[in-house]
């Protein structure tokens, strides 16, 4: 790749159609999903069109950025902008998960005890939920969703934990390798990381199928089912996204896009990967374990 220092000026693109294309994509996606949820079959097609446009946009937008970077139009300052931007984006993702963790903690440490008559809720239990006793997991005083089995920390979840932890080691190895310009090692370990990522997603899917078919543990299973599937579900989506990002990075390594000094895309992907990893640890401890 061309030397990042070739440019002394901060690069400001003049006009780009990609963001606007992305906006159009949002219009179709959000409008479509809404129509769909309101029971119009047309909705899903609109949504699919939206997704297609979004994919087109991502290729176009990132394609442009990659070209620009390849042509050495970016100087270090631009690179810093990307880094700062990426870190704060990840922070916003953290806060999104925080909302759901917050819901989990609030339900466990306040709502359920209150329904069982603690705090200033003596009558709540006496008159409305007679005899309900707070415990965790719980699908609530009305046993919403019927009897269910609890998803324990052993078995698949444990395996998945190991997989994800390993993957974050492999990505770190790849990171060191790229800094030393050892392309073969990068390809090997980054590839491994991507592979582990997809295996994780696959096993997660297995776990869901098991939960739905054998354990009667579903989204409808009261607050336990709600928090379990929303947290692990959103995490799963992020793993998928992260794996795709790393896959793209892998291809770019193959094409020799990166130098030991300049490989922001790689690092961004790696950061994102560590982020989903950390979120998983939180999940494993608070959703599966405690």
Partner 1 sequence: MTSATHTADHHDEHHDHGPAKGLSRWLFTTNHKDIGTLYLLFSLTMFFVGGAMALVIRAELGMPGLQFVHPDFYNQMVTMHALIMIFGAVMPAFVGLANWMVPLMVGACDMALPRMNNWSFWILPVAFGLLLSTFFLGGAPAGGWTMYPPLVLQTGDAFPLLIFSVHLMGISSIMGAINIIVTIMNMRAPGMTLLKMPLFVWTWLITAYLLIAVMPVLAGAVTMLLTDQFFGTSFFRAAGGGDPVMFQHIFWFFGHPEVYIMILPAFGIVSEIIPTFSRKPLFGYDSMVYATASIAFLSFIVWAHHMFTVGMPLTGQLFFMFSTMLIAVPTGVKVFNWTATMWKGAMTFETPMLFALAFLFLFTIGGFSGLMLAIVPADFQYHDSYFVVAHFHYVLVPGAIFAIIAGAYYWLPKWTGHMYNETLGKWHFWLTTIFVNLTFFPMHFVGLAGMQRRVPDYPVVFADFNFIATVGAFGFGLSQLLFIVVVVQCIRGGKKATAEVWDNPHGLEWTVPSPAPYHTFDEPPEVGDLAEIGPLKGT
Partner 2 sequence: MKRLIALFLTGVAGVAHADWDVNMPVGVTEISKEVYDLHMLIFWVCVVIAVVVFGAMIYALINHRKSVGAVPAKDMVHSTRAEIVWTIIPVVILVAMAVPAAETLVKMEDTRNPDVTIKATAYQWKWHYEYLDQEIDFYSNLDADSNAARQLGSGIDPESVPHYLLNVDNPVVVPVGAKIRVLLTSNDVLHAWWIPEFAVKKDAIPGFINEIWFRAEEVGTFRGVCAELCGQDHGFMPIVVEVRPAEEFATWVAANQAEGDEQQRLADAVN
Residues that bind partner 2 (CB under 8 A): 114-115, 120-121, 123-124, 127-129
Per partner kind, with CB cut-offs from 5 to 8 A, the member of partner 2, partner 1, none near residue 123 is: partner 2
Q: Closest CB to partner 2 among 144 and 179?
A: 144
**Token output for 155:** 């078995």
Least Å distance, CB 127 to partner 1, is 13
Q: Which of 5, 20, 155, 260 binds partner 1 (CB under 8 A)?
A: 20
- The region of 77-85, 188-196, 199-207, 262-270 touching partner 1 under the rule CB under 8 A is 77-85
Least Å distance, CB 37 to partner 1, is 4
CB 280 within 8 Å of CB 164: yes
Sequence-separated (6 or more) residues with CB below 8 Å from residue 229? 208, 218, 219
Least Å distance, CB 139 to partner 2, is 14
Question: Could you tell me how many residues of this chain bind partner 1 (CB under 8 A)?
Answer: 72
Using rule CB under 8 A, residue 213 touches partner 1: no
Using rule CB under 8 A, residue 34 touches partner 1: yes
Using rule CB under 8 A, residue 212 touches partner 1: no
Least Å distance, CB 224 to partner 2, is 17
Using rule CB under 8 A, residue 236 touches partner 1: no
Least Å distance, CB 229 to partner 2, is 22
Using rule CB under 8 A, residue 19 touches partner 1: yes
Using rule CB under 8 A, residue 10 touches partner 1: yes
Residue 110: CB atoms within 10 A of its CB come to: 13
- The region of 137-145, 195-203, 243-251, 263-271 touching partner 1 under the rule CB under 8 A is 137-145
Q: Around 130, how many Cα atoms within 13 Å sit in the side-chain half-sphere?
A: 1
Q: Closest CB to partner 2 among 26 and 114?
A: 114
Using rule CB under 8 A, residue 13 touches partner 1: yes
**Token output for 162:** 């190991």
In this structure, which long-range contacts are made by residues 131-140, counting pairs with CB atoms below 8 Å and at least 24 apart in sequence? 136/108, 136/112, 136/224, 137/224, 137/228, 138/112, 138/222, 138/223, 138/224, 139/221, 139/222, 139/223, 139/224, 139/225, 140/115, 140/222, 140/223
- The region of 171-179, 184-192, 198-206, 221-229 touching partner 1 under the rule CB under 8 A is 221-229
- The region of 138-146, 162-170, 195-203, 209-217 touching partner 1 under the rule CB under 8 A is 138-146
Q: Around 62, how many Cα atoms within 13 Å sit in the side-chain half-sphere?
A: 10
Per DSSP, the residues of 122-140 read: HHIIIIISTT----SS--T
**Token output for 57:** 């946009």
Per partner kind, with CB cut-offs from 5 to 8 A, the member of partner 1, partner 2, none near residue 205 is: none
Q: Which of 46, 50, 117, 139 binds partner 1 (CB under 8 A)?
A: 139
Three-class DSSP labels, 184-221? HHHHHHHHHHHHHHHHHHHHHHHHHHHHHHCCCCCCCC
């Amino acid at each position: 790749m061309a030397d990042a220092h070739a440019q002394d000026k901060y690069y400001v693109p003049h006009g780009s159609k990609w963001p606007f294309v992305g906006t159009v994509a949002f219009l179709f996606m959000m409008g479509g999903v809404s129509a769909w949820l309101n029971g119009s079959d047309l909705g899903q097609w609109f949504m699919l069109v939206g997704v297609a446009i979004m994919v087109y946009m991502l290729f176009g937008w990132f394609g442009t950025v990659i070209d620009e970077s390849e042509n050495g139009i970016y100087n270090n300052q631009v690179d810093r902008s990307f880094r700062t931007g990426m870190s704060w984006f990840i922070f916003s993702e953290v806060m999104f998960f925080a909302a759901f963790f917050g819901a989990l903690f609030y339900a466990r440490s306040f709502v359920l005890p209150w329904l069982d008559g603690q705090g200033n809720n003596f009558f709540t239990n006496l008159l409305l939920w007679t005899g309900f006793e707070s415990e965790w997991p719980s699908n609530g005083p009305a046993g919403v969703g019927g009897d269910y089995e609890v998803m324990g920390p052993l078995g698949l979840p444990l395996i998945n934990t190991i997989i994800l932890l390993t993957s974050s080691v492999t990505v770190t190895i790849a990171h060191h390798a790229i800094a030393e310009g050892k392309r073969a090692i990068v390809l090997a370990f980054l590839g491994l990381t991507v592979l582990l990522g997809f295996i994780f997603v696959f096993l997660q899917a297995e776990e869901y199928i098991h939960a739905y078919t054998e354990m009667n543990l579903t989204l409808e299973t009261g607050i336990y089912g709600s928090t379990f599937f929303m947290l692990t579900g959103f995490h799963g989506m992020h793993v998928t996204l992260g794996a795709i990002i790393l896959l793209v990075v892998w291809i770019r390594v193959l094409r020799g896009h990166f130098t030991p000094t300049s490989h922001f895309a790689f690092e961004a992907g790696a950061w994102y990967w560590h982020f989903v990893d950390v979120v998983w640890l939180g999940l494993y401890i608070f959703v599966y374990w405690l």
